[in-house]
Structures are given as C-alpha cells and as structure tokens.
Structure 1
Amino acid sequence: MYRKIFLLIGSLIVIISLVFYHESLLSWIQNNEQDRWLLVTVIATIMSLFPVIPYPLVGSVIGAAYGPTLGAVIIWTGSTLASITFFSLIRYGGFHKLGTKILLKYAATKKITLLFERNAFMSITIMRMIPVIPSIIINAYAALSRVRFIIYAISSGLGKIPSMTLFAFIGHTLVTDPIELIYMVIIYAVFLSIVYSGYKFWLKKIEHRE
C-alpha cells in the first residue's frame, strides 16, 4: 500500500514539474553543448516516462541539436529506459497480480492475452514499429500480462529503433534540408504498411493454426 502511494506521489511531482518547465528543458536541449549528451539522455528518459509533451517533438529537437546519428541514439536510449522503467513500476509495484486477474477474467481479453503472451517477442517488436499505437498502452499491457521481463526489454528496444531514428532524422532534416522530409515520410509510410500487413497476415496464420 505504501509503495503504491509513494509511486503515485512521486509521479505526480515529476508530472507537475514537467508541465511548468518542459519548455525550458526543450530550449536548454536545443542550445546546449554537445558534451552534455548524457544529461540530455536522462531528460529524454524523464520526458518519455511522463509524456507531458509528445515524444516525437522531443526527439525532433534532440535530432536537430545533436544530428541524426547521436540524436537517434539519445532518444532511443531515453525511450527504451522509460519503457523498461514503466514496465517495472507496474510489474513490481503491486499492480501485476490484480491486472493479470482482470485480463484473464473475461473471455475476450483472455483470448487476446494468451495469444499475446505466446507470441510476445514478435507482437511487441511489431507494435513498437507502429508509432500510432500509444507506448503507454503497450507498456502497461505487457506489464500486466505474464510476458517475461527480458523478452519485453529486448523486443521493445528493437521495435523502437525505426521510429526513434525517424524522429531524430526529422529534426535534423528540418534544419538542414526540409524537402527531404517528404521523401522520408513516404518511405516510412510504405515501411509501416508492409510491416502492418505482414503482422496481420502472421496473426491470421496463428489463429487459423489454433
């Protein structure tokens, strides 16, 4: 009980702080020196864990400030660490047993959850590649299920690579050659279409097999 209260109060303090100071943090990132990348990674992690502002915007600012390569590494690290932290808070913060009980209580959620757990690595990896799926839903659902921590951590990290790289490249392209942004969006849209189509086909095969 005390652990849950502590987590809620701590989270509330961080969220309130970000609401009032997020613009200052973004400005600091945009105008700071390159050798502060470690501190920027910590800030990116906090901003991903508590998404007061959209993380793609954070990624674009970091990409513009640090370039596409280092920027992508920073926002990928921040986003991955935030996801693992969120997963751990739910899994080990006293919410896991209740959540699993609810997921397996109803026939519809039970079927989906069991399918998700049996194919956790592929499911999480592909869902991470589709940026329209809110990260917080994937984090919470995986944490409340019986997916092993190591499988979640690896698949989540792998799945984040394309979208985090895109955010960094968008930020860098906006300040260098905005015309290239059109080609990037088209290429990524085609990539997502292929991934999503393949994922739907794969799920149908599994359901048919069962």
Structure 2
Amino acid sequence: MDWLMNIEGLAEWIRSWGVLAIVGSIALNIVISVAGVLPSIFLSGANAVVFGLYGGFFISLTGEVLGAGIAFFFYRYVIKKADKKQKLASFQWVSAINGATRGKKTLAVVLLRLNPLIPSGVINLGAAMTNMSFADFLLATLLGKVPSMVFETFVGHDLIYFGENKLRLLLALVAGALVLLLFWRRKPAQSEQTGQSEQP
C-alpha cells in the first residue's frame, strides 16, 4: 500500500516546514490545481492529518480555488496573446455560454465541478475560453469544490486512521461510488438523446 504511505510521508514533509507549513501546503495545492490532472486526494488527506479535519479542509479548498483562478488567468492570457478570442467565439458551445446569463454560467461551472469524471484543468480551460468573468468563475469554483474537498479530506484522513474511522470511510466510499455511477449513467443517456434528436 505505497499510495497510503505517500499520505503519511507527505504529512511528515509538510510538518517539517514548521511555521511555513500552511503557506507551503497551499502553494503545493495551487501547483496541483494548475496542473489540472494530478490527484489532490493525497495532499487533502495529508492536510487533514497535519492540520485536523476542518483546518485541512479549508487549507485544501483555499489552494484548489486559488490554483483554479491562476490557471484561468493563465489560459485567458494565452488566448488573448494568441488573438484567438474571435475564433473561439465561433464555436457553438462557446457562443451558447457567452449568450447565457451570469447565473446560468455560474451554475454550469458549479455542476461541472461536481462531476468527478471531468478533470479540473478541462473546466479551467473551458471557462477561460468564454466571456465568463473571473469573479463568477471563482465563486462557481468555490461552490463546486466544497463537496469534493469534503470527500477528499475525510477519505484521505480516514485511510490513515482506518481503525478508528472504518464505518465513516466505508460510507464516504459508497457515497463517492454512487456519485460516480450517477454521472456515468447520465453520459450514455445524454449521448443517446443527442443521437435521436439528430435523426431526421
């Protein structure tokens, strides 16, 4: 179970930073969030071990949201420098989002954040391609990230303290599996509906 030892090793590494532990952990979470494809559950679990469940949750959430914001800024800067804004606006899905209300844009990002099958980096890039404001993106990311951060924090923590939290870990894993199943079953159904609507 090397992956489990990674959480413990990561926790010890964070502890070794002393007074800089909180800042260092947030910075590490920002790097993971900007990368967009790296799993954050190990760091979330380590934060819970070092700072406690609630402290670890808020530190992990802060790093995730800041990282998503930095990625959003970076992608939008690249798009602007490459002068691709008008070309992107010609894409049907970008045009549809650009024409939506602020509330609908925010809700769309919240729902995408709740879907565990969609990598965070894809959402960051997709939002940067639209005219969504930075403030609305941050708010939607914050709201959408809360459930996943709660899950990662508790699961990562309880994997280390398995003997004391077996039931809670089991319930969390079952809940996570049900969420995955829900989104997984919706994808084929939506694809089938799309295919039927395109038939003459």
Give how far 1:46 is off.
2.3
- Which residue, 133, 155, 158 being the options, matches 2:140? 155
Q: Given the two structures, how large is their TM-score scaled by the length of structure 2?
A: 0.72
Aligned residue number for residue 168 of structure 1: 153
In the alignment, structure 2 segments of 5+ residues that lack a partner are 1-8, 194-200
Looking at structure 2, the residues matched to 183 and 136 of structure 1 have their Cα atoms a distance apart, in angstroms, of 28
Q: Given the two structures, how large is their TM-score scaled by the length of structure 1?
A: 0.68
Aligned residue number for residue 113 of structure 1: 94
Counterpart check, 1:95 vs 2:73: no
Matches within 5 A, 1:1-210: 27-29=12-14, 36-50=21-35, 53-91=38-76, 93-96=77-80, 98-105=83-90, 109-110=91-92, 112-117=93-98, 118=100, 119-176=104-161, 177-190=165-178, 193=182
Looking at structure 1, the residues matched to 110 and 35 of structure 2 have their Cα atoms a distance apart, in angstroms, of 22
State how many pairs are aligned. Answer: 172
Give how far 1:27 is off.
4.7
CA RMSD of aligned residues (A): 3.1
Looking at structure 1, the residues matched to 168 and 15 of structure 2 have their Cα atoms a distance apart, in angstroms, of 21
Q: Note if contact 2:113-2:145 (Cα within 8 Å) is conserved in structure 1.
A: yes
Give how far 1:83 is off.
0.4
Give aligned-pair identity as a percent: 22
In the alignment, structure 1 segments of 5+ residues that lack a partner are 1-23, 205-210
1:150-190 C-alpha deviation (Å, 9 max, x unpaired): 11111111111100111111111112224421211222444
Q: Note if contact 1:62-1:71 (Cα within 8 Å) is conserved in structure 2.
A: yes
After superposing the two structures, state which structure 1 stretch, 133-142 or 48-57, moved more: 48-57
- Residues 1:104 and 1:69: Cα distance change in structure 2 (over 3 Å): same
- Residues 1:123 and 1:41: Cα distance change in structure 2 (over 3 Å): same
